[in-house]
Structure formats: C-alpha cells, structure tokens
Amino acid sequence: MNTACETCPVKDSAACAVLTEEERDALAAAGRTRTLKRGEMLFAAGDENAACATLVSGALKVSAIDRDGNEQILALVHPSGFIGELFAPFAHHDVVALTESRLCTFARADINQAIDLYPSLARALLRRSQEDLLATRSLLELNATADAEARLAALIHDFAVAASHSSCHLASEFELPLTRGEIANMLGLTIETVSRKLGEIEEAGAILRKGKRGIELIDPALLQALSGRQAAQA
C-alpha cells in the first residue's frame, strides 16, 4: 500500500476500503489530494464533468440556491463520504467546504473505469448512495414531524456519530461545522430558536458548550432520547 493510503484516516471506512492493496494503489495513482478552505467550492451546480471525491477530513455541505438567491442546505458530507454524480452530465448542486477539508479527488472517467474493473467498489458506492438517500429522507421526516428541540438534538447526535472513530459509541468532544445560521437553514428554524434550544439541551445536561463551536457530550443517552435517534450499536 502506498504511503498516502497507508496513513489515510478513512482507509478503513471509505468506499475504497473494499479493495485489495494492489487495487487501492492503482486507484490512488489516478487520484490527487486537494485541500479546501472554509467557504471554498469543490464544484458548482451546472459544472460539466465535475470531479468525484472521497472526503478525508473536514466537512462539506451540499446546497442549492433558489431564484431569490437564498441558499438551502440539502445534505452534509462527513469524513469517508463520497461526493460526485457518476451518471449525470453535470453537477446538480453546489458542494462547499464548511471547514478546512482534505479530499482525495478523481476524474469521473477514472472512477467509471474503476467501477468496471472492481465490482466490489461498485457495490460499496451503491451501498453508500443508499445510506445517503436514507439520511436525506430522515432529514425530511425530521423537519416535517419533529419539534425544534428534537431536530437540533438529532443534528448534534449525527455530528457526534460522524466525529467518532468507532461505530460503538459517539465522540465525546467535537466541533460543530455549521454556524447557527446554517443550522437554522438546514433545520427550518430561526437563529433565535437554535440558540435557545441549544441552551436548553445544555441545561438539561446532555451537552456542554466549549468556546464558539465546541461540544462536549455529557450524557449520550439523554441526547439520544431527545433526538429520537437510535443508540450506537456495539
């Protein structure tokens, strides 16, 4: 395994984890590493032949701009997530870095060739696409049926899941990649409601805020109960 893959923090969780060392080395040879600063765009809606990428570290948002120029955040991408529309002639949405983010990027043609060569990779990407679809449906259901506290608790819970290095438990400390305005945008709330409910979740004893965006998880079971999310499985 080449050095870049060997030291990659998502080597065991990204879609390419299903490949053999030789297959992964061959795929890595076709890719390149790219670092985005917060607010920098990976690709924009309408871009032709937009690159595909695996997020190595950081966080990205997938968003759309309406006719009045208002942004709507549609989804988040966490480390090991795959970004790219393999079967569309152009990108349908903007993909923007929420924090400094490192990616392993590939030309669409190279990924398509890899899918033909490695059926296990095709299955892994299909599985990941299904997980992304379920996450999007979950967000729609949450915003349609849950109250403000449950929406915010669920989002914090999902950030704790994404920040954890284990599927058995949530991360004990992490940074929120979204501003309060972005959280409000994503959850269909006002900034004032986000601030108030964040304080209430802290007062309940589920979390402790540290600095501007830091979160320490004090009572994972309570956060899970407030969110309605299922507990992490061992």
Q: What is the pLDDT of residues 163-197, one digit of tens each?
A: 988 777 889 999 999 999 999 999 999 999 999 99
Q: What is the pTM of this model?
A: 0.86
Architecture per CATH, 146-227: Orthogonal Bundle (1.10)
Exposed, middle or buried by CB within 10 Å (0-12, 13-18, 19+), for 125?
buried
The domains of the chain are located at 5-134, 146-227
Contact 80, 1 (CB under 8 A): no
Site of tokens 């409601």: 193
- Please tell me the predicted confidence (pLDDT) of residue 233: 46
pLDDT in tens, 87-135: 787 789 999 999 999 999 999 999 999 999 999 999 999 999 999 998 8
* CA dist., res. 182 & res. 163, Å (int): 19
Report the CATH number of the 5-134 domain. Answer: 2.60.120.10
DSSP reduced 3-state for 47:
coil
